[in-house]
Chain A
């Protein structure tokens, strides 16, 4: 069958026809016994009948199908090649511009969203969830995307943050704003605690140990009932206030609530919208923080570590500290998200911190394109919205979710936005604006 063409050059029409002809010929040969001849029952005895009309149709279908398939494959390959050439040619300046514009649009849209949907509880709630995942994605992005350390137990830090706030507020009466930094620091501490024993591990081994760590935290939360409330979790967690103004219908004697202070009629939406803006601000701060870090020596060191650990050591970098800092900062951001989560839900239990959560957050980072901040936003939006839209499909929604992930990875193996922005830009005269290296 050497005449079937596998060549990568652009095919001429004759070559295409010949190629399809061969396939049709093969179909004919195979088709004679499979389709062309059939046995029929004639008065209790088997006889052979012919179905050459059907066979002819099958052969024509094979011929046409091969033509179309070949053309489609070539077309896609050509486009991919063209894209790769374009990407290699300029280091993605155009792509970066598009991403930047996209980012500002997304920011505008997210600021406007609760104003437009001010009486749609469902939309604001879902958008808040998206933002939590964006923040978690950005946090994990430091560990996985930048430092290249595969962490399958990220949800543990989310849990540490959430439980820290829940306990500090319900047991010791701390406010949201007091508990936020402390919980973040606690989560960072756990990050270092996890980081130490696994400094020497990489890749699959690292993934397994972090997976175990995530489970250990969850199992402790389930079983240490006196401390964490066990499977029942912790409820009546205080909600954050707006600079001391509570979101209640009836404020306590002698104090104002948010609604009464601003002379508004009480509405449950106020709190939801406030929570939405709160996570938006937290997420934006996270973004600014991580983008800054990326341009500082520590951020560069993370990326260098992802690329080649031995080379890093040979450059005199202390890889131990670099790894621990990545774990600590990633964990801290996860902790912040956890605090917000607990404050928003008012109730937490170990069920919110299962491996599935870790998997989803990791999927957001990978689908977004490892290390790309905008990619995380896109992926988080998709991964939260797909199951929401899928609600009509009831039990098939997770199937839909899985399929979407597979399709994204097939379509964009490097992630939605795989482009990496250099940490320094060249000015017009070709001289680099130096970061703090």
Chain B
């Protein structure tokens, strides 16, 4: 078991954003989380990261209880997050952004890791001296993913990586997710609005509604489920 959340609750002030979440991710899996806007998907990911801290329940990563750890300590345990909205360091160069991703990684791996990221996203190498804020949206998303990979995470969290991208970039992003998992054995937790494609790449999925998991199953099962079809696929996201 790579990650498990057991009965996790989280609050923003008096807003009860997560209401008893049970989620498990096995080593080598792609697990996707789908749900409407405001369902609590981003909150779930951030609470894994201790921000907001779980107000009840338990989060276990790689055999260790991380519920009470600080955000940066959790990151150093081997979880990397590609946050919603990319959050690259806009005024720093592309290369500097990638280096920031490696600040707590073993320097001995640096050259190999940067080569791997460049091989995956050649455009980043072309633009390495450019200010990251001047990249296109899709390039910025690739940078955010590349930066997360620089820390050699055991678990990669992707929060809506396809948000606001053109179809060609979206396909590329999903292709990368699949490659990372298949070729590099990366365990991935993926939040997506793009339910159709997300469920196709994922081994398993969860449906989140108002801070609760309402459905769980394999990607194929969820794709076939009438509730999911009605709420997330035929509504125009497909």
B90 touching A426 by the CB < 8 A rule?
no
Q: Do the beta carbons of B89 and A307 come within 8 Å of each other?
A: yes
| Cβ proximity bits A311-340 to B, threshold 8 Å, 1 near / 0 not | 111111111000000000000000000000
Q: Is B201 an interface residue (CB 8 A)?
A: no
Among B88, B103, B147, point to the contact of A297 (Cβ < 8 A). B103
* Among candidates A88, A304, A430, A434, residue contacting B89 with C-beta atoms closer than 8 Å: A304
CB distance from B68 to the nearest CB of A (A): 16
Q: Which one of B92-100, B171-179, B222-230 is at the interface?
A: B92-100
Do the beta carbons of A316 and B103 come within 8 Å of each other? yes
Q: By the criterion CB–CB under 8 Å, are A314 and B91 in contact?
A: no
Contact of A437 among B51, B103, B129, B130 (CB under 8 A): B103
Is B71 among interface residues, defined by CB-CB distance under 8 A?
Answer: yes
Q: Are B129 and A91 in contact (CB under 8 A)?
A: yes
B73: chain A residues at CB < 8 Å are 316
Which of the residues A297, A303, A308, A317 comes within 8 Å of B87, measured between beta carbons? Answer: A308
Interface residue from A297, A311, A420, A430 paired with B91 (Cβ < 8 Å)? A420
Beyond A297-B103, A423-B96, whether A91 also contacts B89 by CB under 8 A is no
**In the assembly, what is the distance between CA of A311 and CA of B87, in Å?**
6
A285 within 8 A of B: no
- Determine the chain A residues whose CB is within 8 A of the CB of B148 once the complex forms: 314
Contacts of A424 in B (CB 8 A): 95-96, 99
Q: In chain A, residues 264-308, which have Cβ atoms closer than 8 Å to a Cβ of chain B?
A: 297, 300-301, 303-304, 306-308
- Check B80–A314 contact: CB distance below 8 A: yes
Set of chain A residues within 8 Å of B72, measured between Cβ atoms: 313, 316-319
Contacts of B49 in A (CB 8 A): 313-314
* Contact of B134 with A by CB under 8 A: yes
Is A65 part of the binding interface, using a Cβ–Cβ cutoff of 8 Å?
no
Total chain B interface residues with beta-carbon distance under 8 A: 36
- Give B45's nearest chain A residue, CB to CB: A314
Partner of A316, one of B51, B75, B134: B75
Cα distance A310–B87 in the bound complex, in angstroms = 8
CB < 8 Å neighbour of B99 from A91, A311, A437: A437
Do the beta carbons of B83 and A300 come within 8 Å of each other? no
CA distance A430 to B127 in the complex (A): 11
Contact of B131 among A91, A301, A310, A426 (CB under 8 A): A91
The verdict on A413 contacting chain B, using a C-beta distance below 8 Å, is: no
A244 interface residue per 8 A CB criterion? no
Instruction: List A contacts of B83 (CB < 8 A).
Output: 310-311, 314
Cα A314 to Cα B156 with chains together (Å): 11
Which residues 41-92 in B have Cβ within 8 Å of A in the complex? 49, 51, 70-73, 75-76, 80-81, 83, 87-92
Q: How far is the CB of B73 from chain A (nearest CB, A)?
A: 8
Q: Is the CB of B92 within 8 A of A315?
A: no
**B139 CB, nearest partner CB in chain A, Å:** 14
| Chain B residue, CB-CB nearest to A436 | B107
B103 contact from A306, A310, A315, A423, Cβ within 8 A: A315
Q: Which residue of B lies closest to A426 (CB)?
A: B129
User: Which of A303, A315, A426 contacts B147 (CB under 8 A)?
Assistant: A315
A78 at the interface (CB under 8 A from B): no
Does B16 sit within 8 A of A, measured CB to CB?
no
Whole-angstrom CA separation of A432 from B100 in the bound complex: 14
Interface flags, B125-143, vs A, CB<8A=1, else 0: 0001111001000000000
- Interface contact A313-B51, CB-CB below 8 Å: yes
B residues less than 8 Å from A430 (CB atoms): 128
Q: By the criterion CB–CB under 8 Å, are A315 and B104 in contact?
A: yes
Q: Is B4 an interface residue when CB atoms closer than 8 A count as contact?
A: no
A422 interfacial by beta-carbon distance below 8 Å: yes
The CA of A314 and the CA of B87, in the complex, are separated in Å by: 10
* Residues of chain B contacted by A318 (CB below 8 angstroms): 70, 72
How far is B144's CA from A307's CA once the two chains are assembled, in angstroms? Answer: 14
Roughly how many angstroms separate A47 CA and B154 CA in the complex, as a whole number? 92
B70, closest chain A residue (CB)? A318
- A106 CA to B163 CA in the complex, in Å? 49
Give the residue name and chain of the A residue nearest to B132 (CB).
A307
Task: Give Cα A318 to B71, complex, Å.
Answer: 8
Chain A residues with Cβ below 8 Å from B128 are 426, 430, 432
A297 to B81, CA, bound (A): 20
- A4-22 vs B: 1/0 string, CB under 8 Å? 0000000000000000000
How far is A430 from B125 in the complex, measured between Cα atoms in Å? 9
Chain A positions within 8 Å of B131 at CB level: 91, 420
Of A314, A317, A420, which contacts B81 at CB under 8 A? A314
Q: Point out the residues of chain A lying under 8 angstroms from B110, CB to CB.
A: 434, 437
B101 proximal to A (CB < 8 A):
yes
Segment 108-132 of B: residues with Cβ below 8 Å from A: 110, 128-131
Which of B70, B87, B134, B147 has the largest number of chain A CB atoms within 10 A?
A: B87
Chain A residues with CB under 8 Å of B100's CB are 300-301, 304, 312, 315, 437
Give the residues from 381 to 437 in chain A that come closer than 8 angstroms, CB to CB, to chain B: 420, 422-424, 426, 430, 432, 434-435, 437
Nearest Cβ in chain A — how far from B74, in angstroms? Answer: 8
Give the 9 A-B residue pairs with the shortest CB-CB distance, closest first. Answer: A316-B75, A307-B89, A311-B87, A313-B71, A314-B81, A437-B99, A316-B104, A316-B76, A308-B87
Given contacts A317-B103, A437-B102, A437-B107, 6 further A-B contacts (CB under 8 A): A91-B93, A300-B92, A303-B92, A314-B87, A315-B151, A424-B95
Residues of B within 8 A of A (CB): 49, 51, 70-73, 75-76, 80-81, 83, 87-93, 95-96, 99-104, 107, 110, 128-131, 134, 147-148, 151
Could you write out 15 A-B pairs with CB less than 8 Å apart?
Answer: A91-B129, A301-B100, A306-B91, A308-B88, A310-B83, A314-B87, A314-B148, A316-B75, A317-B72, A317-B103, A420-B131, A424-B95, A432-B95, A432-B128, A434-B110
